[in-house]
Amino acid sequence: MGIKFNLIIENIEPEPEPDIDLVLFQKSLSSDFIVEKDDEGIYITIQLNEGEGEKCQNLVNRELDRYFFLTAVKIRAEMVRTIYKLRLTIEQTVYSGLPEGIKPQNWNDTDRHQLPMQLRLWSLAIGADDLCLRAILFYQIIELSGCDFPRYSDEKVAPLPLAEARFLRNWVAHAGEDLRDSMARYCRYLKIEEKMFERTSSAHMDILKRKLKLLEAEAKAVISKSL
């Protein structure tokens, strides 16, 4: 038996509705997923028993999070009776198609929990309006990779990107003026007062807006290595 999903695309005006390449979409999925189209719409059938709804939800979510990461087309899974309805909501004005060489993801034991979690964090971060929350979510993606963060000892030069990602997360996530030497050094590099992030400071907000691109790029690089 299979569980069938109806795919619904919702676009943000005045952006055009994205064109889903069904051939590439099918190639991106394992053989348990069957993509079909008829006069009523596009459907996915997943070869799982109806009693495995929770497992099915998890399998769907990780594929949809991967799809969003690759295309910027966001998909949300909804259960309707015994059917999951997938609603695609476009939350970005720039989206892309799947790469030509797309293959099913190898959800092996090593990244079984790590990669799905990173993809879900990416989806949450991109959709977050709060800049501090977005910075923290991007950092969590980086941290889950288990990477080593370089030391920072010279305030006259910029930290390496991974080191700066950690400084930015700590800067926005904590409060007060009792800074460690490395954080104080980073503040001096930024040419700001040696204290933690303040939402009411326009200078702090400007720095965060500018530096979010660095966090996003590092988080994206981490996920891309596993895809």
pLDDT digits (tens, 9 = 90+) for 73-82: 877 666 544 4
Give the β-pairing of 83-90 and 73-80.
Answer: antiparallel
pLDDT for 137 beyond 60: yes
Q: Which of 77, 97, 117 is at the close of a domain?
A: 97
Confidence bin at 120 (pLDDT 50/70/90): very high
Same domain, 132 and 216: yes
Q: Is residue 113 part of a domain?
A: no
Q: Is residue 173 part of a domain?
A: yes
Domain residues for 20? 3-97
**Phi (first) and psi of residue 29, to 5 degrees:** -110, 155
Same domain, 75 and 131: no
> Which residues are registered as beta bridge partners of 74?
89
For residue 220, the model assigns a pLDDT of 95
Confidence bin at 144 (pLDDT 50/70/90): very high
Q: Is residue 118 part of a domain?
A: no
pLDDT for 152-201, tens place per residue?
999 999 999 999 999 999 999 987 666 788 899 999 999 998 888 988 88
Same domain, 22 and 71: yes
Helix (H) or strand (E) holding 222: helix 202-226
Domain count, the chain: 2
DSSP state of 15: S
Higher pLDDT, 168 or 42: 168
**Phi (first) and psi of residue 64, to 5 degrees:** -70, -35
Dist CA 216 CA 125 (whole Å): 9
Contact 141, 162 (CB under 8 A): no
CA 87, chain centre distance (Å): 18
For residue 84, the model assigns a pLDDT of 35
Same domain, 221 and 176: yes
Q: To the nearest whole number, what is the mean pLDDT of the chain?
A: 81
Q: Is residue 157 part of a domain?
A: yes
| Residue of 216, 218, 192 lying closest to 205 (CA atoms) | 192
Q: Is residue 13 part of a domain?
A: yes
Q: Is residue 104 part of a domain?
A: no
Same domain, 209 and 139: yes
Same domain, 132 and 93: no
Q: Is residue 109 part of a domain?
A: no
DSSP state of 167: H
Same domain, 170 and 209: yes
Q: Is residue 36 part of a domain?
A: yes
Same domain, 87 and 135: no
Same domain, 82 and 137: no
pLDDT for 87 beyond 50: no
Helix (H) or strand (E) holding 116: helix 114-127
| Residue of 219, 28, 24, 22 lying closest to 106 (CA atoms) | 28
Same domain, 143 and 190: yes
Bond before 18 cis per omega within 30 degrees: no
